[in-house]
Amino acid sequence: MSKHIAIYISNKENKVQLIKRITAGELIPELVTLKGSIFSEITLNRFIEEEMRHGRFDVKTQTNNSLKNSSEGERKRALLNHILTESNPDYIILDNAFDCLDINAQKQIKTRLEELSCTTSIVQITTRKRDILPFIDDVFTLETGVFKAFKSHGDLVESSKNYFIEALPKPLILNLNVFNPLISLKNVTIKYGDRPILNSINWDIKPGEFWQLIGPNGSGKSTILTLVSGDNPKGYQQDMTLFGIKKGSGETVWDIKKNIGFYSSEMLRGFKRKDTLESMIISGFLDSIGLYKYPTDRQISIAHQWLKLLNMYHIKDKSFQFLSSGHKRLILLARAMVKHPPLLILDEPINGLDDHDTKMFSELVNKIAKESKTAIIYVSHRKEEHIKPDFIFELTPGKKGSTGKINNSFSIN
């Protein structure tokens, strides 16, 4: 019978190193002689790079789209299919396999993995306790590089402390020019080629409202975000009013973008420079990556208030690159918020975070919602127990594209 293990880790652990130790047989000695495949974000990015650089489309998606043009969930499903059908491995390492996947996709993959587990060893790495596969009994944790048996789900006591005590820093300028609604989409209908994506979406977002946008993989969540942020050329044929400007009335992209603070976990890849935490936050005032202008004393003072709120003032001169993934996100969230934009967009912001850092990040989002006048669109697939939105906008796919409905209570997982 094949052996399966799960390793439940925090974001502080070095995953590349961990995967090397697994393939070297540290936990399951037999693996050294077996053929393995790795299902991870890194593998996926390699295939996308192959598409872009060499025009090689090895991984086939369900929609026949390229990986690059596919949604996050579609990519993951395609990669798993590819690994299972093309490489027929003896063992498979799953690195945070359920991130970005909707509830149905998770169920399908779990069933497939359970079937597979009769013939193939599964090594699951996860930062979320709830994702541990039910058929795996041998669960380990990793504490500063040392493997330990994770005995029961009660092993880690969830901390109930509040991370952010200070009040949210005030804006530099009070924006009195607030549009109501901030965003208005009327019968928005989008197709890519012949494929309908959105079907008659009606959605108004008013100042200060906290929305969660949910829907299964490929239902059009990112498409809506690109419409709202003025990035999607298909918006020109639609009836949309963004921050008081009718779409297609001669506005520039900047007229829209200056009203939006944005954070997505994909942004972590974009910031590879060695800026200090202080300059990362100040750069939010200047809409730049890095600082090319001298900030004003007031901007510096507000950045310091944010650093104090985040409990990182004492390391303000440290390089952003040395922070943990959880702390990087707090800094990027503060950067998106320093100007108190009318709208803050958070696109799958906790992807890849561990349980502790998810709670910490969510607490800051809830605080922003409570203590500022900024409206929030928070995109995610799953119910996140720590997030407390006022409303949910739910996309449901159909033959003519996804329709949208507003829910006040929700039951997704």
Ligand X SMILES: Nc1ncnc2c1ncn2[C@@H]1O[C@H](COP(=O)(O)OP(=O)(O)OP(=O)(O)O)[C@@H](O)[C@H]1O
Contact letters for ligand X, residues 61-80 (x by CB under 6 A): --x-x---xxxxxx------
User: In angstroms, what is the minimal distance from the CB of 53 to ligand X?
Assistant: 19
Spell out the residues 6+ positions from residue 41 whose beta carbon is closer than 8 angstroms to its own.
Answer: 95, 96, 352
For ligand X, which is the closer residue by CB, 184 or 264? 264
Does the footprint of ligand X cover residue 92 (CB under 6 A)?
no
For ligand X, which is the closer residue by CB, 74 or 95? 74
Could you tell me if 342 and 181 are in contact, meaning their C-beta atoms sit under 8 angstroms apart? Answer: no
Upper half-sphere CA count for residue 32 (Cβ side, 13 Å): 8
Does the footprint of ligand X cover residue 120 (CB under 6 A)?
no
User: In angstroms, what is the minimal distance from the CB of 174 to ligand X?
Assistant: 34
Which of 10, 217, 358, 374 forms a contact with ligand X (CB under 6 A)? 217
| Interatomic CA distance for residues 371 and 377, integer angstroms | 16
Q: Is 255 exposed, middle or buried (0-12, 13-18, 19+ CB in 10 A)?
A: middle
286, containing H or E segment: helix 277-286
Does the footprint of ligand X cover residue 339 (CB under 6 A)?
no
- How many residues at the interface with ligand X, by CB under 6 A? 18
Does the footprint of ligand X cover residue 311 (CB under 6 A)?
no
**Contacts of ligand X in 156-195 (CB under 6 A):** 192
> Token digits for 334?
């503060």
Q: Which residues in 272-356 belong to E strands, given as ranges?
A: 343-347
**Piece of the chain touching ligand X by CB under 6 A; list 51-59, 219-227, 233-241, 360-368:** 219-227
Q: Is 298 exposed, middle or buried (0-12, 13-18, 19+ CB in 10 A)?
A: exposed
User: In angstroms, what is the minimal distance from the CB of 71 to ligand X?
Assistant: 3
User: In angstroms, what is the minimal distance from the CB of 205 to ligand X?
Assistant: 18
Does the footprint of ligand X cover residue 223 (CB under 6 A)?
yes
**Piece of the chain touching ligand X by CB under 6 A; list 43-51, 80-88, 218-226, 316-324:** 218-226
| Interatomic CA distance for residues 65 and 250, integer angstroms | 32
For ligand X, which is the closer residue by CB, 219 or 279? 219
Could you tell me if 65 and 208 are in contact, meaning their C-beta atoms sit under 8 angstroms apart? Answer: no
> Token digits for 254?
């900047």
**Piece of the chain touching ligand X by CB under 6 A; list 30-38, 136-144, 220-228, 405-413:** 220-228
For ligand X, which is the closer residue by CB, 320 or 393? 393
For ligand X, which is the closer residue by CB, 121 or 219? 219
Which of 222, 241, 276, 311 forms a contact with ligand X (CB under 6 A)? 222
> Token digits for 260?
């939006």
Contact letters for ligand X, residues 7-46 (x by CB under 6 A): ----------------------------------------
For ligand X, which is the closer residue by CB, 73 or 295? 73
- SS3 state at 128: coil
For ligand X, which is the closer residue by CB, 94 or 280? 94
The DSSP code sequence of 363-397 is: HHHHHHHHHSS-EEEEE-SS--TT---SEEEEEE-
- Which of 264, 261, 283, 286 is closest to 361 using CA atoms? 264
Helix/strand/coil percentages in the chain, nearest 5: 35, 20, 45
Which of 219, 264, 279, 305 forms a contact with ligand X (CB under 6 A)? 219
Which of 36, 89, 169, 215 forms a contact with ligand X (CB under 6 A)? 215
The binding site for ligand X (CB under 6 A) comprises 63, 65, 69-74, 192, 197, 215, 217-223
